[in-house]
Structure 1
Amino acid sequence: MKPFTFKYFEIQQSKEVFRVGTDGVLLGALADVTKVSSVLEIGTGTGLISLMLAQRNTSASFLGLDINKEAVLLTKTNFEQSPFHLRLKNIHQDLKAFQTGDKFDLIVSNPPYFEESGSDKDKIARQTIELNFQQLIESSVKLLSDQGIFSVIIPDEAGSSFVQVASENHLFLRRKINIKGIENSKTKRLVLEFSLTESRLEESDFVIEKSPRQYSDQYLELTREFHIFKRKG
């Protein structure tokens, strides 16, 4: 498959691994990576999110986990070929069996969110077969540092149940970004950030396109240090 080229790194892709998509780009650009020294990405796929965060935070160390061996090999290649490779590591690991004495200042995930179906397309990456929200949240709580942040991107319709499960596990919602595909449309995705301490909720809206195939100024500004946009005319 054709690589996806960003300004400072390139993503090799594979038919066996979920490709670069808008959800990953949004989480990589929006997750709060300030004042962070250690980052865990759960379900690395191509490694996109960690690479974007490593570009934004020039000192943090990163560890990526993925249960898909093909994804691990692909992420390894993408990490090694990036200018941030000394701070990036990934392993073939099931989160549910992952054990470490380390705690992480930021845990990020673009998790599987469809219930199990008959489709084999991107089965592990898209369907909650190997990892459901309850398992993701319970594991993340154990791995989060006292002042750490847990950041995810999920469909809007899953938001209420995700927040409820997080609350039951003593995670407090601190930031919520309502992602709309196009201006004046319904919310499509949510970026949710949680912490172990309660604070005032910060909520905002984000629009990807101002009209069909026309990125919004908001999206262009957010991604200008990542995307290579073709000039028109």
Structure 2
Amino acid sequence: MPNSYFQFKQFRVEQDRCAMKVCTDSCVFGAYVEVGEAQRILDIGTGTGLLSLMVAQRSGASIDAVEINPEAQQQAQENFAASPWSERLHLHQQSLQEFARQERPKYDLILSNPPFFLSSLKSPDAARNTAKHTGELLFEDILFFAQQHLTEQGRLYLLLPPAEALYFAGLAKASDLYLQEALQVFTYHGGKCIRHIQTYTFAPETAPVLKDFFIREEDKVTYTSEFRQLLQPYYLYL
């Protein structure tokens, strides 16, 4: 049974009321996103608030987080309030569609670990379905919002399984957002690719940069040096 919380070096994520718990690939995603000098960041479908907290740790940005599920929203709000960056973290308990209807500034970064199972069988757990299946939040909604609210030099980051990542890339190109880089995340050396971390911008790119990232060595136990380096600022025992 998953722990009711996940303790990081500088913050703690309570997760007992959230359908989707803290997992390794989402931690890789949060650590990998390049924040640079971003002043405004949007986290779509924040869940526990993990991604917002991770980018808050290494930036001075003002961060908006959108979450439609009331229980997840309440838990994220508590996680934000307990963090050292509470004054820069702003939670909105509404759908992205509702959020988009209000006047919003443009964002330097938009990031999302969205619901991604397009056609898989649904679970009897309604909250988990909302968290994992495209329904309340569609890929097209993310793209439409990014078109309207991403700065000219801004970047859109997504974490998706390989098949859904390919599908999203096609949709994005039709919306004048272009894949610049894809980090292919593998469970271990010799294992399967479980996720793509995609970076999109408005600049056309004919040959996106493809990189491989391995979480563990071939023994399936030992973390790779690249994983340790990336997560060292966050994980307690790295």
Normalising TM by the smaller chain, what interval?
over 0.9
Q: 2:114 aligns with which of 111, 114, 121?
A: 111
TM-score normalised per structure 2: 0.91
User: What is the one-letter code of the residue matched to 1:228?
Assistant: L
Corresponding position of 2:24: 22
Q: Secondary structure at the match of 1:214?
A: coil
Shift of 1:215: 1.3
Q: How many residues align?
A: 229
In 1, Cα distance between equivalents of 2:234 and 2:148? 32
Aligned-residue CA RMSD (Å):
1.5
Q: Structure 2 vs 1, CA of residues 169 and 183 (structure 1 numbering), >3 Å: closer, same or farther?
A: same
Runs of 4+ in structure 1 over 4 Å off: none
Q: 1:36 aligns with which of 19, 35, 38?
A: 38
The gaps in structure 2 that reach 5 residues or longer are none
In 2, Cα distance between equivalents of 1:151 and 1:70? 25
Shift of 1:197: 1.7
CA deviation map 1:71-123 (0-9, x unaligned):
11111100010011111111101101222231100000000011363413411
Corresponding position of 2:9: 7
Q: 2:220 aligns with which of 197, 202, 212?
A: 212
In 2, Cα distance between equivalents of 1:12 and 1:187? 28
In 2, Cα distance between equivalents of 1:7 and 1:146? 34
Whether 1:133 and 2:139 are equivalent positions in the alignment is: yes
Q: Is the 8 A contact 2:18 2:48 kept in 1?
A: no
CA deviation map 1:135-176 (0-9, x unaligned):
222222212111110000100121221100000000011111
Q: Secondary structure at the match of 2:160?
A: strand
In 1, Cα distance between equivalents of 2:62 and 2:115? 24
In 2, Cα distance between equivalents of 1:42 and 1:221? 26
Corresponding position of 1:87: 88
Q: Is the 8 A contact 1:17 1:70 kept in 2?
A: no
In 2, Cα distance between equivalents of 1:157 and 1:115? 10
Q: Is the 8 A contact 2:188 2:214 kept in 1?
A: yes
Aligned-pair identity (%): 31
TM-score normalised per structure 1: 0.93
Shift of 1:187: 1.9
In 2, Cα distance between equivalents of 1:7 and 1:177? 25
